[in-house]
Amino acid sequence: MKILVADKISPKGVAYLRQQPGFEVIEAYGSTPEQVLELVKDVHAIAVRSETKVSRAVIEAAPLLKVVGRAGVGVDNVDVDAATERGVIVMNTPAGNTISTAELTFTHILCCARPIAQGAASMKAGNWDRKTLSGVELLRKNIGIIGLGRIGSEVAKRAQAFGMKVLAYDPYLTPARASAMQVESVTLDALLAGSDYITVHMPLTDETNNMLDEAALAKCKKGVRIVNCARGGIVNEKALVAALKSGQVGAAGLDVYETEPLPKDSELRSAPNIILTPHIAASTAEAQETVGIEVAEQIADLLVSGAVRNAVNLPSVDAATAKLLAPYIDLGTKLGTLVQQIAPKQIASLRITYAGKIVDLDANAITRSIQRGYLRQISDSVNTVNAPIVLQRLGIDAQVIKSSASCDYSELITVEAVDLTGAVFSASGTILGKTNEPRIVGINGREVEVAAEGKLLVLENIDQPGMVGAVGMLLGNDKVNIADMSLSRLTPGSTAYMVVRVDTEPSEAARKALKDNPAIKQAKFIQL
């Protein structure tokens, strides 16, 4: 079997692959996209870091391909959807660079406190300029950590060792978990106002994009220090440059950027009191060796024994079971994703109930898919293997119930998110027909029926004449085509539910118009 190592990984990882009987390893570092398309024609596995793009074209050009292994956390350079469609497993190494990223983050924090880089440059220029290179101590300063995941938690430990007080903003972190970590859980505004240092450790999503913009930086203490070793785009670069020039931000350290490589004419390069590193958070000998060996071992295990570890698109099950469970896994992922988008950010428990014939199956893979579905917009490193650990780290109690009670469907999966007040937000689904079509049949206790795919508008409205027409006209004027619609009410004139599956995402103006309609109590756009 051929393994293409398209990007340079640890030599120990390559050596491990070469030692496996029947493996032929091709090292092709720095290949052009055209060369990659030619090289993959007869390979069974591809190992990459972040340089090589494993696009849909690459996957379609590799008929023998079984697995893509990413030596690192993110899989942005791999078309996971295309891989899934072709039955190609995509693996990553989610924990390999945790410590290296946390340590680089703290290095930037130290450089924000003491002008180390500036002092080194001054000395090399022949100066002895002690007076202008004064710094500050970290002791008893407040550090605001946005995102208390793997890396944020490690940064918190290091900050506490320096005698800093940790303010944490993570909408998914429960009070119990915050207490155990000895951090103070606060709102984002409280963190901005109370922190001397701020570091971000969240994935880049629609919600976190430009999270630290001009308005956010204006809420901070004058002279606040800002560090971003997570994802470019979370800190608005133009706003940061302006704040550095005005003194609102006293210093900054960046390892990631909105555009990479950072353009030569970027204003960041000439901004005062900023240390820039070229996305090197994972670039330590230990991290690169760890992820290189890990990805090699995972690829070998899959090709030799069929064992699956750290897959982002398939639970850890054997091939025969995976085929049987595939429609339920797809449904579970979508139910988890739906519930995450209709529930509050902070929940106490995630409860999964199986009813009907499905209770006779080994539902572990389905459970993992539901948990991953719930978490995939929260953490960019979650997969079906580490989803339970991520839930635990967030302080979310995971519950699974196999019910013997009768239900209206031969098989039914219900996912419930229970918030800190005990309120329940739920979605139910089943598999219909010979084609095993996943269907959503309940949202928040209301009976609905809509295909579990694409884009949904979930509306809670007063049950009165003209609502369907009003919504249809508004979407029509916005050039949004309705693919499917389901209506639900308990009694005439009471609160009703309208679930609309649409072909395209409504504009911001259309969404605002829906929310501004006095008859609509709640409107949420859901992306499955």
- 289 with 93: CB under 8 angstroms? no
Long-range contacts of 484-487 (CB under 8 A, 24+ apart): 484/450, 484/451, 485/450, 486/448, 486/449, 486/450, 487/448
- Owner of token pair 């692959």: 17
Q: Assess whether 108 carries a catalytic annotation.
A: no
Catalytic residue from among 85, 137, 260, 286? 260
Q: CA–CA separation, 168 vs 180, rounded Å?
A: 13
Tokens of 415: 């996912």
Supply φ then ψ for residue 140, to 5 degrees. 65, 15
Identify the CA nearest to 75 among candidates 298, 383, 526, 333: 383
Catalytic residue from among 279, 309, 489, 511? 279
Identify the CA nearest to 499 among candidates 488, 510, 515: 488
Catalytic residue from among 231, 393, 439, 446? 231
3-state class (DSSP) for residue 26? strand
Supply φ then ψ for residue 316, to 5 degrees. -80, 85
Please state at what angle helix 11-18 crosses helix 285-305, rounded to 10 degrees: 20
Q: Assess whether 201 carries a catalytic annotation.
A: no
- Owner of token pair 């903003």: 169
Give one DSSP letter per residue of 306-354, joined into a string. Answer: ----SBSSS-S--HHHHHHHHHHHHHHHHHHHHHHHHS-S-EEEEEEEE
- 133 with 77: CB under 8 angstroms? no
Identify the CA nearest to 103 among candidates 207, 253, 319, 262: 253
Q: Assess whether 44 carries a catalytic annotation.
A: no
Q: CA–CA separation, 262 vs 367, rounded Å?
A: 41
Q: Which helix (H) or strand (E) holds 58?
A: helix 56-60
Residues serving a catalytic function are: 231, 260, 279
